[in-house]
Amino acid sequence: MRPIYAGILHGGDYNPEQWPEAVWADDMRLMKAAGCNAMTVGVFAWSRLEPAEGVYTFDWLDRIMDLLHANGLRAVLATPSAAHPPWLSRKYPEVLRTASTRIRQEHRVRVNYCLTSPVYRRACAAMAKQLALRYQNHPALMLWHVGNEYHDDCHCELCQQAFREWLQRKYNSLEKLNEAWDTAIWSHRYEDWAEVRSPQPWPAGEWSMLALGMDWRRFVTDQSVACFRNEADVIRKITPDIPLTTNMHQTTWGFMDWARFAPHVDVMCWDNYPEYHADAGDVARAIEVGFAHDFYRSAKRQPFLMMESNPGSAQGKRQKRPGIHRLQSLQAIAHGSDSVQYFQWRNCRSATEKYHGAVVNHDGRSDTRVFCEVAALGRELAALGEVRGTPVTTDIAVVYDKQVHWAAEYSTTARWDRRSYIQTAHAHYGSFWKQGLNVDVIESTADLSPYKILVAPVLYLLRPGVAESIRRFVEQGGTFITSYWSGYVDENDRAFQGGFPGPLRELLGVRSEELDCLDPEEENRIQMTPGNGLGLSGEGVVHHFSDVLHAEGAEVLATFVGQYYAGRPAITRRRVGKGTAYYVGALMDDAFLDRFYAAVLKDAGVTPFLSEPPPPGLCVRTREGQSGCFVFLLNFAPETRVLTGLAKATLVSGTAEKAAAGWSVPANGAAVLRLNMNPA
């Protein structure tokens, strides 16, 4: 993709169609004052662009595009397909979404469309074509933004039929489907394709067949990608040189498998709405958000865009404390974003989001706290233009796989309400975060060749080929770490026979005979084996999950202290080929994980960027610039933090001070340094 802008994008969702034109000139003045350069227009503007079928009213958008250009601003031009007009629903009820109750919804809210309806697809493609033809040569046009946050499903008869066809393509025969879904259980065997229906929550319909649920989610993701492609393909034909994307959401949100969009967009982008409470210090939240940023960057192994964020507060929620907006924005840049975009530019006057944080609030003033913070950030981002497009490099990958997430959370066998798949992934990722290391967050099926360390906690479901690719990774010298509750089911949620962790058993050299789910108040401990190869001593604390483990060729690094499996293996390691495979057979406390990973890094020969880990709460991340490395210091701790080392770095921007002891960063502060050589 060619660079879409010389520097970092700064701007956000702009809805001029909600305002009289008299406000527009003021908007332009304020956008410039706020240091904006990229505004997203048209996201939900369908009824203003096509008030009746085939009647297009682009005149107002022409004037907005011209105004943006005249004021030195670029347009992220959206197709309005996420909010179709009432006339379309009235004339063609099939475009409306049907809930899992099988009741067709009325025209409502937005994202209220059927994912299959040919009428809806035709209407979207026609609108996309008109927009592309009209603005293909407009100088303000910078990036296409198709739809808005694809989410949820539609259960109408069109979708049911499309699902069956999707299944027919996947399984070829009903016999194969019956086998894959294990329909012998509870007499679910299908004799006719017409018997296959989408899942429904209890008690209304079929919720017990997890394989059906998994395939339904895959199908819904594919249908959403198809809706995206329906518009994108039309636009690409007309403007092949203008990049194109859609805005996604938190990795954990809804049941969209966002990674499936990666091959179809030119740049990944997502909408980031964390609730940071700075005065308490918010390291856990910073780790979660960093993880999501890393997921979106890793999905295409290139910088991404943060397409929405909230410069103020979500309505009715705690206001972001001064400085937090800047910290959150620089966090995105540190993890590989090339933008800081907002929802929204100007507070809307009505409906549910009228008190949602915005750059310009109902005052319409430029001297509010939020506006001033945005404007100051705009100046800072302009000075950081060189960071745009620079890569984030790393030897370490943590696996986050939406299909594993679905299966783990669907499973009724373990107490996942206590500690979910994603929390465990965050905990392991957090150890690297605390070491000041860049990390990629990848799907289990991703190419592993760029990495030296692969961490896949709770790899509960093994997609086809994953066990083989992990084995190759280890044999060729990689270090692989996985945990309890890994290698349990195949992609159709069928338990592996012959011992867990299933196809990973031989590589890891362990067999888990039982998985013990402790009561919430219970605690166990592990004891490092004297003289263990990792050089660790002492104990670690266990909650919730532990394996009753047999070492089958693996070296025992730690054993359980309590319970009926006291003295049995808890953590193991096996050298295979040129590499190493670790098994962490319990849900360990964070302090232990931090010690464990520090030792694993050493054993794997991965040298952390910093000679000492940064002080608690201070996140250190790097992007590789042409003229040196940009080092981001982000202080999520409630007090000043001092980073020792990096004496040769220079301050590019921000609130860090170089003191005798090192770089001092105040609470909620953030700074960018430049380093031209190895840290000293």
Give the residue numbers annotated as catalytic, written as ranges.
Answer: 149, 308
C-alpha 473 chain-centroid distance? 24
3-state secondary structure of 298: helix
DSSP one-letter string for 136-170? TT-TTEEEEE-SS-------SHHHHHHHHHHHHHH
Residue 148 in contact with ligand GAL, rule: CB under 6 A: yes
CA distances from 490 to 338, 401, 504, 586, 598 (A): 37, 14, 12, 22, 32
Q: How far is the CB of 353 from ligand GAL (least distance, A)?
A: 6
Binding residue for ligand GAL (CB under 6 A) from 182, 222, 353, 594? Answer: 353
Binding residue for ligand GAL (CB under 6 A) from 218, 356, 452, 544? Answer: 356
Q: How far is the CB of 184 from ligand GAL (least distance, A)?
A: 42
Q: How far is the CB of 44 from ligand GAL (least distance, A)?
A: 7
Which residues, in sequence order, are bridge partners of residue 75? 39, 141
Minimal CB distance to ligand GAL: which residue? 343
Residue 17 in contact with ligand GAL, rule: CB under 6 A: no
Parallel/antiparallel/unpaired status of strands 440-442 and 339-342: unpaired
Q: How far is the CB of 405 from ligand GAL (least distance, A)?
A: 20
Binding residue for ligand GAL (CB under 6 A) from 17, 50, 149, 282? Answer: 149
Q: Which parts of 228-287 interact with ligand GAL (CB under 6 A)?
A: 271, 273
Residue type, 283: V
Contact (CB, 8 A) for 367 and 175: no
Q: How far is the CB of 319 from ligand GAL (least distance, A)?
A: 15
H/E segment holding residue 506? helix 505-508
- Show the site string, 168-187: x = touches ligand GAL by CB under 6 A, - = not: --------------------
Contact (CB, 8 A) for 261 and 246: yes
Pairwise CA distance, residues 49 & 672, whole Å: 43
Pairwise CA distance, residues 375 & 505, whole Å: 55
Q: How far is the CB of 294 from ligand GAL (least distance, A)?
A: 20
561 burial via Cβ count (<10 Å: 0-12, 13-18, 19+): middle
Dihedral, 281, 283, 289, 295 alpha carbons, nearest 10: 170
DSSP one-letter string for 366-379? S-SHHHHHHHHHHH
Contact (CB, 8 A) for 662 and 640: no
Q: Tell me the number of residues near ligand GAL by CB under 6 A.
A: 8
Residue type, 460: Y
H/E segment holding residue 598? helix 590-604
Q: Which is nearer to ligand GAL, 296 or 343 (CB)?
A: 343
3-state secondary structure of 521: coil
241 burial via Cβ count (<10 Å: 0-12, 13-18, 19+): exposed
Parallel/antiparallel/unpaired status of strands 579-584 and 569-576: antiparallel
Binding residue for ligand GAL (CB under 6 A) from 342, 343, 371, 429? Answer: 343
Pairwise CA distance, residues 523 & 502, whole Å: 27
Contact (CB, 8 A) for 254 and 403: no
Q: Which is nearer to ligand GAL, 353 or 475 (CB)?
A: 353
Q: Which is nearer to ligand GAL, 79 or 655 (CB)?
A: 79
The one-character DSSP state at 44 is T
- Show the site string, 535-554: x = touches ligand GAL by CB under 6 A, - = not: --------------------
CA distances from 252 to 33, 281, 295, 402 (A): 36, 23, 11, 8
CB-CB neighbours of 141 under 10 Å: 21
Pairwise CA distance, residues 344 & 272, whole Å: 13
Handedness of CA 263, 269, 271, 272 (dihedral sign): positive
Q: How far is the CB of 324 from ligand GAL (least distance, A)?
A: 16
Q: How far is the CB of 114 from ligand GAL (least distance, A)?
A: 20
3-state secondary structure of 587: strand
Q: Which is nearer to ligand GAL, 44 or 92 (CB)?
A: 44
Q: How far is the CB of 273 from ligand GAL (least distance, A)?
A: 6
Binding residue for ligand GAL (CB under 6 A) from 27, 153, 266, 308? Answer: 308
Contact (CB, 8 A) for 375 and 366: yes
Pairwise CA distance, residues 317 & 354, whole Å: 13
DSSP one-letter string for 306-364? EEEE-SS--TTSPPPPTTHHHHHHHHHHHTTBSEEEES-SB--SSSTTTTS--SB-TT-
Q: Which is nearer to ligand GAL, 272 or 483 (CB)?
A: 272
Q: Which is nearer to ligand GAL, 269 or 672 (CB)?
A: 269
Residue 145 in contact with ligand GAL, rule: CB under 6 A: no
Query: Which stretches of the chain bind ligand GAL, using CB under 6 A?
Result: 148-149, 271, 273, 308, 343, 353, 356
